[in-house]
Amino acid sequence: MKNDLVALVIELLNDAGFIVSSRCKARSFDLAARRSDFTLLAKILYNIDGINEEIARGIKRAAFCLLASPIIVGERKGSFLLEDDVVYHRYGIPAINSHTLYEYFNDDVSPCVYSATGGLYVTINGEKLKVARKEKELSLGDVASELGVSRRSVSKYEEGTVSTTIDIALKLEEFLDITLIEPLEFLKSEADEPPEITESGIEDAASSLERYILSILEEIGLEIFATSHAPFSAVSLSQSKRRDENVRILMGISRYTEQMIKRAKILSSLSHVTKTQSVFVVSGSVKRIQIEDTVLVAKEELKKIKDPEEFTCVIEERLEG
């Protein structure tokens, strides 16, 4: 069931002009997609209630690191189907069904309705409401009486401090003969600060090898953002001398195994979509220096690197070689 939904989402995003990564099969997100300079990080599951707070925190942290907007695509919430053109939320992450995804990205139709405690709501343009009311020489009381609400409620609608039900919004539009319902800007750009990972989240997600390698990277002087339940162990920020800009690097950490090779290929795909670089620090013998566009660095080699500049040079030389 989930595989069918993932395939559908990939098809819809491709049709909408996105470059889509390989499927990640991580707990935090399933794929990354980019169209122009807009990057999406999608978690796809049939029932959106399957996402808990720890997983949501991992999605948001990964999205922050990749300058992406997190989104959940599903078909049910508990025992109920997700309604078309309605935005739901799980721990602050917008969740929509595949129909709404198609409408938004393929037909450029923004949803206007969101689900919250108590039902479905819309946002109205308070300034337009105020201007229309005054042009028709109506008092707050006149509008309140027509709607069956208090004057204070109408005043809050005009101030833009509260949302309203669909029924009230439609009555307002009919009464004032004006469009007031606003489309939702539900896809958030990256947050100012990354969501924190709880200690339990770090312990669950990171192996002793990962924690050891991350400590070495920090000693080198790299700025490290650890992740949880993601295809990569962390994202580092380094200065590229060749490109004279900060470079985000997806960091994988593992022993050299068949599973590591698969993960390195996934990181290569993710780095292509998210305009980052990808590196795997490998414990044990390294049989090659690169898997697709993911650079491999041996643990013993990493321990000899003195600063971020040297680390970045190693990566760029191998990519160019």
CATH of the domain at 38: 3.40.1350.10
Asked whether residue 271 falls in the same domain as residue 314, the answer is yes
Tokens 């080198």 — which residue?
220
Instruction: Mark whether 158 and 106 lie in a shared domain.
Output: no
Chain segment 70-116, per-residue pLDDT in tens: 999 999 999 999 999 999 999 999 999 999 999 999 999 999 999 99
What distance in Å separates the CA atoms of residue 42 and residue 72, rounded to the nearest whole number?
A: 6
Same domain? For 290 and 215 the reply is yes
Confidence (pLDDT) at 321: 65
Please report the pLDDT score of residue 240 as a whole number. 60
Listed residues 182, 217, 235: the one ending a domain: 182
Same domain, 273 and 178: no
Whether 189 is covered by a domain: the verdict is no
Do the domain assignments include residue 229?
yes
In a domain? residue 250: yes
In 3D space, the residue among 251, 245, 311, 235 whose CA is nearest the CA of residue 66 turns out to be: 235
| Residue 56 within any structural domain of the chain | yes
Domain assignment present for residue 260? The answer is yes
pLDDT digits 0-9 by tens, 17-38 = 999 999 998 888 999 999 999 9
- With tokens 């990964």, the residue in question is 62
The pLDDT score that the predictor gives to residue 233 is 92
DSSP-assigned states of every residue in 127-167: HHHHHHHHHTT--HHHHHHHHTS-HHHHHHHHHT-S-EEHH
Q: Is residue 193 part of a domain?
A: no
**From CA 179, how far away is CA 87, in angstroms rounded?**
20
Structurally, the chain folds into a number of domains equal to: 3
Angle, helices 98-105 vs 2-15, to 10°: value is 10
* Residue 12 Cα to chain centre, angstroms: 17
Residue 225 CA to residue 64 CA, distance in Å, equals 10
What is the span of the domain harbouring residue 224?
Answer: 199-320
User: pLDDT of 178-228, one tens digit each?
Assistant: 999 999 999 976 556 666 655 444 445 567 899 999 999 999 999 999 998
Is there a domain that residue 187 lies in? no
Same domain, 37 and 65: yes
pLDDT tens sequence across 139-191: 999 999 999 999 999 999 999 888 999 999 999 999 999 999 999 999 976 55
Q: Are residues 72 and 106 in the same domain?
A: yes
Say if residue 242 is in the same domain as residue 287: yes
Examine the domain organization and report whether 25 and 135 are in the same domain: no
For residues 311 and 248, membership in a common domain is answered with yes
Pick the last residue of a domain from 86, 111, 136: 111
Claim to verify: residue 204 and residue 316 sit in the same structural domain? yes
In-domain check, residue 190: no
Q: At what angle do helices 151-159 and 140-147 cross, to 10 degrees?
A: 110
Query: 25's torsion region: left (phi>0), alpha (psi -120 to 50) or beta?
Result: left
Query: Quick count: other Cβ atoms within 10 Å of Cβ 193?
Result: 7
Q: What is the CATH number of the domain that holds 259?
A: 3.40.1350.70
